[in-house]
Amino acid sequence: MTEHHVYFAVFGYQDEPLAITLLAGREPDEIWRKGESYSAVLPEATRTENRWIISSGLDHYASHSDHFEKLILKLERLGPTLQQLQQRYRCGVGVSQYYFMDDPAFYLPDQLISRFRQLGIHVAFNQLALDNSGDDTLPDNHLE
């Protein structure tokens, strides 16, 4: 099964998150603070930058197309505020896709990509292969 995380974020800012919230006119879905631990399981792994996040709000197992569609609706509702955020801060859309198969497919319709471009948003994504076989050896195509 494939798991998706799709979000818009303001990255690496130095202001208090409240300044971004006031400019955006809405609460974030999540805030990361530089130096905070990712989880109690691995407390020494800490966040490397501040992040103010608007997520798609969908279940992580919804399709990536559904995540993008829901997120673009949220971003379009921000109107001119989105441009103000982009002018003042480093912003973008982040995507992580976790999958359990050898050849994942990732496709977004041109119309959806165009809607993000019209908002001046760059979309980048990572595909992370999770090996559920229990074999800790690296695959032949792994680069270090």
> Tell me: the pLDDT tens digits for 102-140?
555 666 778 888 898 899 886 656 555 555 554 444 444
pLDDT at 79 over 90: yes
Structure tokens at 94: 């982040």
Instruction: Say what the pLDDT of residue 137 is.
Output: 45
Confidence (pLDDT) at 20: 97
Q: In whole angstroms, what is the distance from residue 28 CA to residue 21 CA? A: 7
Q: What are phi and psi of 121, to 5 degrees?
A: -110, 125
61: which residues sit within 8 A by CB, 6+ positions away? 1, 2, 3, 4
Residue 59's identity, in one-letter code, is D
Looking at the predicted structure, is the pLDDT value of residue 16 above 80?
A: yes
Q: What whole-number distance in Å separates Cα of residue 2 and Cα of residue 98?
A: 6
Is residue 77's pLDDT more than 80?
A: yes
pLDDT of residue 70: 95
According to DSSP, the residues that pair with 91 across neighbouring strands are 10
Q: What span, in angstroms and rounded, lies between the C-alpha atoms of 5 and 95?
A: 6
Residue where the block lists tokens 């989105």 = 82
- Tens-place pLDDT, residues 24-63: 999 999 999 998 888 888 888 888 899 999 999 998 888 8
